[in-house]
Amino acid sequence: MPELMTLWRPTGPVELALVRDSGWREWPPRLPGQPIFYPVLNEDYATRIARQWNLPRDGEGHVTRFRVEAGFASRYPVQQVGGSTILELWVPAEDLAEFNAHIHGEIELVRSFLTEG
């Protein structure tokens, strides 16, 4: 079994529905204007994005977790986009199908935030 890397992805309701429709197996293609897919390297950062960005924009925000082959993921250098724990992988949109093929197991929904009311 290859070594696996755990990644998280903050997501809104539309993307989450597409993941669910895939049987929790893959991320949907990027939309025009979305040149990269960016999973993040820690749950705290994913939670902050889901809560502070997805929730106000979409009325809900979700945190997902998945595992990908570490050797494959290493082709995408870790990007530090803020403080020391603000870490992402930048996967070009055209690589997403191949990236999906290296996911092991299902994409898991680990936390949801909903607007009260």
Interval 43-88: pLDDT, tens: 999 999 999 999 999 999 999 999 999 999 999 999 998 888 899 9
Is this structure's pTM higher than 0.85?
yes
Q: Strand, helix or coil at 88?
A: strand
Domain ranges of the chain: 4-114
pLDDT exceeds 80 at position 117: no
Residues with Cβ within 8 Å of 56's Cβ and at least 6 positions away in sequence, in order, are none
Residues with Cβ within 8 Å of 37's Cβ and at least 6 positions away in sequence, in order, are 27, 30, 90, 91, 92, 93, 96, 99
| Beta-carbon count within 10 A of 99 CB | 21
Decide if 89 contacts 78 (C-beta within 8 A): yes
Q: What is the pLDDT of residue 11?
A: 97
Interval 1-16: pLDDT, tens: 899 999 999 999 999 9
Structural tokens at position 109? 């929904």
Q: Strand, helix or coil at 56?
A: helix
pLDDT exceeds 70 at position 95: yes
Burial of 98 (0-12, 13-18, 19+ CB in 10 A): exposed
